[in-house]
């Protein structure tokens, strides 16, 4: 992968963890959640008890701190070098304007995340405008219907099925994995591979919360603002987010799909570890941590460079440009995936280049 550490760009070996991190915090996983959850709601209902936040995952950083303090320290040190890698809640200021706010999110409904850091809820409540990646997340089914109405965004349009791109053994594994999630392969056989892999990259507890009606953080912010009669602004459309994904080569998506299949229940550990770092405001340590726990994968440097450019950096520029008119009015609250904030091409740096003073709150 390529990561910005200080002012120097360092190329290092990419990992499945890198891909999952992007999917969880920066890539429009919200889009995949909307689509996959919509399909799941069409499946027969299963009786379940109360839906909790627990996914049964282990905090791998906590374990590493005990088992290998030196390696733990090296991860923290690497994270410390990431520009703007500390803090998920930022204050945006410019003379003559009321302050605005920037919150890095995880697109999940975990109550620990939805609670938000100290001061964020008050800032959102007092803001005139709430800004999210896409305001189309306000209506799950409408958003999914809009995307599926344009097949080129979410479907294989060359007449092929996903099974035709896989070996018989890979296809059998895919079918079994989907069946365990209540999805028939036939229902998604012509979907883009990245949408299918997203069903594996979501934890089971997140799917259960979503199908039970829980809103992920960004969606809740937008929904609450709309209920209060506030203006809600989207920086992108879901179609633009889907286009960014479909722009990437299918070969890359297939690699990600096959690796996601191999992850299994370890997604719960990765989710819990990333959540811990997120809650600590240590976004910069996420990628160094994932390099340690998933060190040997087949994603190439070119793969991750293409992924980062199209899914992170290109979208950062669009977000910064479209946020500027809203920020110029003051008293706005912006919530986007946390990895959009960090690095020398992240939103914090880009907004500073627009003349704003951006300071970490916590």
CA distance 171 to 288: 32
Q: Which residues contact 198 (CB under 8 A, 6 or more apart)?
A: 23, 29, 32, 33, 36
CA distance 8 to 17: 22
What pLDDT is stored for residue 42 in this prediction?
A: 41
Query: Does 302 have pLDDT greater than 70?
Result: yes
CA distance 212 to 48: 10
Among the listed residues 344, 343, 338, 350, the one whose alpha carbon sits nearest the alpha carbon of residue 26: 338
Query: Does 8 have pLDDT greater than 70?
Result: no
What pLDDT is stored for residue 114 in this prediction?
A: 93
In which band, very low, low, confident or very high, does the pLDDT at 295 lie, cut at 50, 70 and 90? low
Range of lowest pLDDT (13-17, 323-327, 343-347, 356-360)? 13-17
What pLDDT is stored for residue 313 in this prediction?
A: 92
Residue 301 or residue 76, greater confidence: 76
SS (H, E, C) 271-284: HHHHHHHHHCCEHH
Contact 287, 123 (CB under 8 A): no
**Length, in residues, of the chain:** 362
CA distance 273 to 72: 13
Q: Which residues contact 102 (CB under 8 A, 6 or more apart)?
A: 89, 90, 91, 92, 334, 335, 336, 341, 347, 348, 351, 358
The torsion angle over the Cα atoms of residues 196, 200, 201 and 203, rounded to 10 degrees, is 130
Note the pLDDT tens digit of each residue in 39-57.
444 443 333 334 445 677 8
Q: What is the DSSP letter of 163?
A: G
The sign of the CA dihedral 16, 60, 72, 344 is positive
- β-sheet bridge partners, residue 10: 3
What pLDDT is stored for residue 12 in this prediction?
A: 39
What pLDDT is stored for residue 298 in this prediction?
A: 67
Range of lowest pLDDT (44-48, 168-172, 331-335)? 44-48
CA distance 170 to 241: 28
- Tokens representing 98 are 């009321």
Contact 89, 362 (CB under 8 A): yes
CA distance 27 to 312: 7
The torsion angle over the Cα atoms of residues 182, 204, 212 and 18, rounded to 10 degrees, is -120
Q: What is the DSSP letter of 159?
A: S
SS3 334: strand
Angle among Cα 332, 285, 215 to the nearest 5 degrees reads 45
Give the number of domains in the chain.
1
What pLDDT is stored for residue 230 in this prediction?
A: 96
Contact 225, 130 (CB under 8 A): yes
Domain interval for residue 353: 2-45+53-360
- Residue 315 CB neighbours (<10 A): 24
The torsion angle over the Cα atoms of residues 37, 38, 40 and 43, rounded to 10 degrees, is 160
Radius of gyration of the chain from Cα atoms? 20
What pLDDT is stored for residue 297 in this prediction?
A: 59
Contact 298, 322 (CB under 8 A): no
Note the pLDDT tens digit of each residue in 251-292.
888 888 887 777 777 888 888 999 999 999 999 998 888 777
Q: Which helix (H) or strand (E) holds 321?
A: helix 314-327
Among the listed residues 262, 256, 192, 264, the one whose alpha carbon sits nearest the alpha carbon of residue 36: 192
What pLDDT is stored for residue 100 in this prediction?
A: 98
Range of lowest pLDDT (197-201, 223-227, 349-353)? 197-201
CA distance 40 to 178: 11
Residue 164 or residue 213, greater confidence: 164
Query: Does 344 have pLDDT greater than 70?
Result: yes
């Amino acid at each position: 992968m390529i990561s910005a550490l200080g002012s120097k760009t360092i190329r290092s070996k990419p990992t499945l963890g890198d891909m999952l991190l992007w999917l969880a915090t920066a890539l429009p996983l919200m889009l995949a959640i909307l689509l996959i959850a919509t399909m799941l709601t069409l499946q027969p209902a299963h009786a379940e008890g109360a839906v909790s936040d627990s996914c049964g995952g282990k905090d791998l950083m906590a374990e590493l701190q005990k088992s290998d303090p030196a390696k733990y320290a090296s991860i923290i040190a690497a994270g410390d070098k990431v520009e703007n890698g500390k803090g998920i809640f930022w204050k945006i200021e410019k003379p003559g304007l009321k302050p605005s706010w920037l919150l890095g999110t995880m697109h999940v409904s975990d109550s620990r995340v939805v609670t938000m850091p100290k001061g964020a809820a008050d800032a959102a409540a007092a803001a005139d405008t709430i800004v999210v990646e896409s305001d189309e997340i306000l209506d799950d089914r409408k958003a999914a219907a809009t995307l599926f109405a344009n097949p080129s965004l979410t479907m294989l349009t060359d007449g092929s099925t996903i099974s035709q791109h896989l070996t018989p053994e890979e296809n059998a594994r895919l079918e079994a994995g989907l069946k365990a999630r209540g999805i028939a392969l036939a229902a998604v056989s012509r979907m883009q591979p990245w949408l299918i892999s997203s069903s594996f990259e979501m934890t089971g507890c997140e799917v259960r919360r979503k199908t039970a009606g829980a809103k992920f953080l960004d969606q809740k912010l937008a929904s609450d603002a709309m209920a209060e009669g506030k203006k809600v602004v989207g920086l992108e459309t879901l179609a633009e987010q889907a286009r960014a994904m479909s722009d990437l080569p299918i070969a890359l998506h297939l690699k990600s799909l096959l690796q996601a299949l191999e992850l299994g229940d370890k997604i719960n550990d990765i989710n819990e570890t990333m959540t811990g770092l997120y809650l600590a405001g240590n976004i910069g340590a996420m990628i160094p941590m994932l390099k340690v726990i998933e060190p040997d994968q087949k994603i190439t440097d070119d793969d991750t460079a293409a992924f980062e450019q199209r899914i992170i950096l290109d979208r950062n520029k669009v977000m910064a440009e479209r946020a500027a008119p809203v920020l110029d009015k003051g008293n706005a609250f912006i919530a986007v995936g946390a990895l959009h904030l960090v690095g020398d091409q992240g939103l914090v740096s880009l907004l500073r280049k627009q003349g704003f003073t951006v300071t970490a709150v916590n």
